[in-house]
């Protein structure tokens, strides 16, 4: 994981509220107007930067898993595109009653990375991946001013 995301992850973790349930989960949606094809191009780039491992990819969604430092699966993260929103949901895979705030942290980290990486790509052409260059430029022009909670 990128060092700047490790630092912000720690901040999110300290602010997160533990969820008490048999299967703790946290979900959030953000109003982000982005084309489905652009969504399908940018989400894997973001997931790579925050250490999410791809599980499945559907027409308008991705499912990722997250591992702890011992390589145990800890969370299932589902990211879904709808017309005007992006939904992100994190569900605990462990048999704990409390998630100790980790689900909320994962969701907030995803949206933070979405905004940060989008801005980096927009402001620094060296970050662009050659084969995705045109799709990323289109994505950035659409995301500027549309990122709202």
DSSP string covering 76-135 = EEEEEE-SSEEEEEEEE-SS-SB-TTHHHHHHHHHHHHHHHHHHHHHH-GGG--GGGHHH
Q: pLDDT, tens digit, for every residue of 71-112?
A: 889 899 999 999 889 999 999 998 777 788 888 899 999 999
39 and 86 in contact (C-beta within 8 Å)? Answer: yes
pLDDT in tens, the chain (149 residues): 778 888 888 888 777 777 666 678 899 999 987 889 888 888 998 999 988 999 999 999 999 998 888 988 989 999 999 988 999 999 999 877 778 888 889 999 999 998 888 777 656 554 444 444 555 555 555 555 555 44
Residue 102 CB partners (closer than 8 Å, separation 6+): 13, 16, 74, 75, 90, 92
Homologous superfamily assigned to 3-143: Kinase associated domain 1, KA1 (3.30.310.80)
Global pTM exceeds 0.75? no
């Amino acid at each position: 994981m990128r060092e700047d995301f490790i630092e912000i992850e720690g901040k999110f973790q300290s602010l997160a509220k533990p969820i008490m349930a048999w299967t703790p989960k946290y979900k959030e949606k953000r109003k982000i107007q982005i084309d489905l094809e652009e969504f399908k191009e940018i989400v894997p780039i973001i997931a790579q930067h925050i250490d999410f491992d791809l599980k499945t990819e559907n027409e308008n969604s991705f499912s990722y898993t997250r591992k702890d430092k011992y390589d145990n699966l800890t969370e299932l993260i589902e990211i879904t595109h709808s017309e005007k929103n992006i939904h992100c949901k994190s569900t605990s895979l462990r048999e704990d009653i409390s998630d100790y705030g980790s689900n909320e942290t994962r969701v907030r980290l995803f949206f933070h990375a979405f905004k940060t990486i989008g801005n980096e790509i927009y402001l620094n052409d060296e970050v662009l991946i050659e084969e995705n260059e045109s799709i990323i430029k289109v994505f950035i022009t659409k995301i500027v001013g549309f990122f709202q909670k």
